Amino acid sequence: MTAPSLPHVLLVDDDPAIAKVLAGLLEQDDIASTWVSSGDEALARLGKRSFHVVLSDLRMPGMDGLELLARIRAEHPGVPVILLTAHGTVPLAVEAMKAGAAEFVLKPFERDELLFVVRKELARVRSESEGEPVWGGIIGGSTSLATALDRLGRAARGDATVLIRGESGTGKEQFARLLHERGARASGPLVTLHCAGLPDTLLESELFGYEKGAFTGAVGRKPGRVELAQGGTLFLDEVGDTTPAMQVKLLRLLQERQYERLGGTQTLRADVRFVAATHRPLEELVAAGQFREDLFYRLNVVPIWLPPLRERLEDIPALARHFCETLGKTHGHPGLQLDDAAVARLARERWPGNVRQLQNFVERLVVLASGSRVMLEDVERELGRQPFRPREEPADEGLGLEERRRRSEREALVEALEKAHGNRTLAARLLGVSRRTLYNKLEELGVE
């Protein structure tokens, strides 16, 4: 079955009014959806066509969300399931996460939270489909990549804390997932918390959860990511962006394996494996007093360094060809190929955004392709329109006010997108602008 060109979500809810609201929200974010009112209908639809994500209510007559989750995991294991639940069914939501749900969203849901969760799963599905795996979906045969994979294999056998380090776009989240899947806790959940761009209060409530009445709007108990990850792995992404105040709380969590929910008095045990990732130079931050030295050592038990693309140039042809093949199917160009001269030109180009930037560039070539092959001239034309690359830009001397303004805006956009892990809705929130304004600026300034 060929996946549709647009991201497509299967909505499962017996309430047509809620389904209509969900469909409208997804449509505003350029995500297609199909609605069914029962678990049986959902399974029937999944048997006829592909969907990227299933978004289902937990409480439904007949087959409930938990049973549907189990059936989908057995019959369509590559499709993530996000569950919607009311405050009163939080224990069931925890059970669902342990049973393999990708995420759950509490009702009444916030628009931005819902879209962020759906987009995150769509991005993960896409990343897992982009590669000829040499091991667990990782593409390439370079020595530097093989070294990282060997270290990952050794780390997966134990339960020690792992710190995955590397530039943005090198695949840190993919490595974390692979580490979990190859480890002793693979049967448990893998739960991710993105630490960048969140204020301490929100980050703390996401990490530890909260009790009813802990703060205004806390109308019920909500489990945190630590609780949801019990028996599995907790992945702390971009841990280098946490504040000193939050670092104290993380240190206690890693050191004592204990925590309390916000507003609670009960001390809970954290039976999880910790995996963290960062693109920031933690040693420099420690020296500058911006990152706790004791936390650094707690995180850095088993470090894994992911090589930037410039250190694995021999992998570019395999990556580019595979992106072309898989994205060609997605965008209605099955069988599309890269000409040898086009591949050679891509292999000579500098990719400061690493694999993610190469993938985005190949996707552009695929979307704009008019024949059965992408030729050298196609690559040259689009390289001439390449977006801002900060490491290759000249110094500011001699630049006029307008160009300096454009450069500053580009840098702010790139930074926000990195913190939001490519999620444009969240990036707009971080920048304090509307999503439409963000899209206009991305187009104006040529930022992918």
Separation of alpha carbons 425 and 436, rounded Å = 10
| Separation between Cα atoms, residue 186 and residue 361, nearest integer Å | 34
Q: What's the pLDDT score for residue 311? A: 84
- Number of C-alpha atoms within 13 angstroms, CB side, residue 437? 11
Structural domains in the chain?
A: 8-129 (3.40.50.2300), 143-307 (3.40.50.300), 313-383 (1.10.8.60), 397-445 (1.10.10)
Contact 178, 138 (CB under 8 A): yes
All residues at 6 or more sequence positions from 234 whose CB lies less than 8 Å from its CB, including other chains: 191, 193, 225, 226, 270, 272, 273, 274, 275
Dig out the tokens for 388 from the structure.
Answer: 């801002």
The set of residues, in sequence order, having a beta carbon less than 8 Å from that of 416 and lying 6+ positions away, is 197, 427, 428, 430, 431
- Distance, CA of 163 to CA of 18 (rounded, Å): 41
- Greatest C-alpha distance within the chain: 70
CA gap 398, 290 in Å, rounded: 34
Here the tokens at position 363 are 């996707």
Which pLDDT score, from 0 to 100, does residue 188 have? 92
Tell me how far apart the alpha carbons of residues 179 and 234 are, in angstroms, rounded to a whole number. 11
What DSSP character marks residue 57? E
Per-range mean pLDDT, top range of 219-228, 358-367, 436-445: 358-367
Helix residue spans in 257-301 (DSSP H): 282-287, 293-299
Render pLDDT for 188-217 as a digit per residue (tens, 0 to 9): 999 999 998 788 888 998 899 888 877 777
Half-sphere exposure (CA, 13 Å, Cβ side) for 237?
23
Q: Residue 364 — pLDDT band, cuts 50, 70, 90?
A: very high
Distance CA 309, CA 312 (A): 5
Measured distance CA(401)–CA(285) in Å, rounded: 32
Question: Which value, in Å, is the radius of gyration of the alpha carbons in the chain?
Answer: 22
pLDDT of amino acid 133: 46
297 by DSSP, 3-state: which? helix
Q: What is the pLDDT of residues 275-332, one digit of tens each?
A: 999 999 999 999 999 999 999 999 999 999 998 998 888 889 989 998 999 899 889 8
pLDDT in tens, 239-270: 999 999 999 999 999 999 999 988 888 899 99
Query: Per-residue pLDDT tens for 72-107?
Result: 988 887 899 998 887 556 676 667 777 788 887 877
In this structure, what are the phi and psi dihedrals at residue 185, rounded to the nearest 5 degrees?
A: -100, 20
